[in-house]
Amino acid sequence: MKPPRIASIVIVALAALYFLLPLWATFHFSLTMVRGTWSFEAYRVVFADQRFTDTFLFSTVSALATILLGACLVVPTAYWVRLKLPRLRPLVEFITLLPLVIPPIVLVFGYLRLYNSSSWLPFTATVSGTNLLLVFGYTVLALPYMYRAVDTGLQAIDIRTLTEAAESLGAKRGAILWNVILPNVRPAILSGAFLTFAIVIGEFVLASLLNRPAFGPYLQNVGANRAYEPAALAVISFLVTWACMVLLQVVGGRGPGRPRSRLFSLPSRKRATP
């Protein structure tokens, strides 16, 4: 092999060891809960804990609600900005990057100041209202990733031509967005959805300060009071995150493709045989 190729293989191997050795050490430690033998006792204890099921289910439902709300907010916005307001793209991109600059603790303290029990909004003092505020906060945290994924998907297709063709056939703007644009950016939306899911599952600050039974505070609570179970939870969290990344790679690797809308599925004409 040529020297540059050998150097590349060495660099990749060192990087893999850098990431895999701590994970292997954590996995190995999680298997030593029973002295003198390797066992999955820590994993059995984790899965037998009702709080694990409750918190993971709560975070999963919150992640799905966040994905739905984020997609409904981002897709029309990104589409309209690219179609009608291209000069506002730098401003919109700057706004969507703010959650990466502003710490989540600032966001949650703003929530507590504005939407406490004495707020003029009646639903903020209820459990459902607090859950709704948590989903709003998750949507803000995932906004940079969802917007970048959708905007990249829109950049890969000619939305102006698709819109003009659909309008020439009599389609309304809502029908164009639902039947033409959305099918073409579906892989991009799914990419942002998997990133959003990974963020929500491990988020700690918002759920902790809003006193919600999410998976992130549960991880911190178990890690502060036990030894082997946190290692098992860390491995489980890595597996969930990696599963999202694999799905991201599978879905994101496919291009937007040609329009799959029925609006453009015209019957093919065959030559008449003499």
Alpha-carbon distance 32 to 170, whole Å? 67
* pLDDT the model gives residue 190: 85
Q: What is the overall mean pLDDT for the chain?
A: 81
* pLDDT the model gives residue 251: 61
Q: Which of 1-5, 49-53, 164-168, 251-255 has the lowest mean pLDDT?
A: 251-255
* pLDDT the model gives residue 248: 63
119-144 pLDDT, tens digit per residue, is 666 666 678 878 888 899 899 999 99
Q: Residue 66: which pLDDT band, with cuts at 50, 70 and 90?
A: very high
DSSP the chain: --HHHHHHHHHHHHHHHHHHHHHHHHHHHHT-SSTTS---HHHHHHHH-HHHHHHHHHHHHHHHHHHHHHHHHHHHHHHHHHHT-GGGHHHHHHHHHHHHHS-HHHHHHHHHHHSSTT-SSGGGGSHHHHHHHHHHHHHHHHHHHHHHHHHHHHHTS-HHHHHHHHHHTT--HHHHIIIIIHHHSHHHHHHHHHHHHHHHHH--HHHHHTT---HHHHHHHHHHH-SHHHHHHHHHHHHHHHHHHHHHHHHHTS---S---GGG-PPPPPPPP-
**Where on the phi/psi map is residue 59: left (φ > 0), alpha (ψ -120 to 50), or beta?**
alpha
- Given a cut of 70, whether residue 268 has pLDDT beyond it is no
All domains of the chain in start order, with CATH = 64-215+240-256 (1.10.3720.10)
Q: Residue 252: which pLDDT band, with cuts at 50, 70 and 90?
A: low
